[in-house]
Amino acid sequence: SQLHPVCSSPFIRRKWISSLFLFNATSHNILDYRTFAFAQFRSLRLLCHLSRRAVNDACRAFNTTHLIERNAFSRARFNEIASILVANLKRNVLTNEKRTANVVSMMTAQNRLLSALRTNYYIHSVPGSRNYITYNTVYLEKNGPEKLSCDCRL
């Protein structure tokens, strides 16, 4: 299986991630990358691990599936069926992983879960009251000449 090149890069190795740890990370400005770099790269490592496991599990399930036919296939027919099955396997793995990522993202957003490093929501107190305003920290960036925007959350 071939995963994204970052999944075999030094950026997901323990040595790199450990070098990013800051004991007092939350004392820095919330927009300072050092406050959440450690957590971001640990998450990236976990995503690579989960992706590798999902692909391996799907391949294992695929390899235990039997193709039984009364008559023998021609080599061309067998190759055609095999390529269709492999294409379906790849599509199903991607679809399942995207669905899982969307569920996690929706649960986080809908339940207003706040990350420990305060990177997904800002909470602002209203002076002179007991009220707080929560701001979702979606960073929209212009993308290309068509002025498309990118929702940079998971």
Give 6's pLDDT tier (boundaries 50, 70, 90). very high
Instruction: Annotate 5-38 with three-state secondary structure.
Output: HHHHCHHHCHHHHHHCCCCCHHHCCCCCHHHCHH
Distance CA 22, CA 30 (A): 14
Distance CA 129, CA 136 (A): 21
Distance CA 40, CA 120 (A): 12
The residue with greater pLDDT, 137 or 36, is: 36
User: Which pLDDT value is given to residue 84?
Assistant: 92
User: Which pLDDT value is given to residue 7?
Assistant: 92
Supply the range of the domain harboring residue 43: 5-151
Report pLDDT digits (tens) over 49-94.
988 998 999 889 888 888 888 888 899 999 999 899 999 998 998 8
* Whether the Cβ atoms of residue 89 and residue 62 lie closer than 8 Å to each other: yes
**Range with top average pLDDT, 22-36, 76-90, 95-109:** 76-90
Element spanning 104, H or E: helix 75-110
β-partners of residue 121 are: 136
Strand, coil or helix: 139: coil
pTM: 0.60
Counting the structural domains of the chain, the total is 1
